[in-house]
Amino acid sequence: MDGELLISPVAHEDSLKKMGIITDRIVNVGGFAEPQREFLEFHRTKVFLKSESNG
């Protein structure tokens, strides 16, 4: 976890734009405290939506 913003490939592009989320380049949001890292790891492995093609 290096602070790189991950965006689900199934996220709705127009909704992301309305929320001000940059999607045309890599965005680094900075470091995280340990509790945040634990939550993000859980989210990445159990919640994050992936496209059919990348499992």
Residue with tokens 């680094």: 28
Position 5 scores a pLDDT of: 92
Over its C-alpha atoms, the chain yields an Rg (Å, rounded) of 12
Q: State the pTM of this model.
A: 0.69
Res 39: pLDDT: 94
| Per-residue confidence (pLDDT) for residue 1, from 0 to 100 | 73
Residue type, 2: D
Per-run averaged pLDDT (10 residues), the chain, 55 residues: 89 94 93 94 89 61
What would the two tokens of residue 51 be? 């496209």
Specify the DSSP class assigned to residue 25. Answer: S
- Cα(45)–Cα(55) distance, integer angstroms: 12
**Residue 1: closest CA among 34, 48, 46:** 34
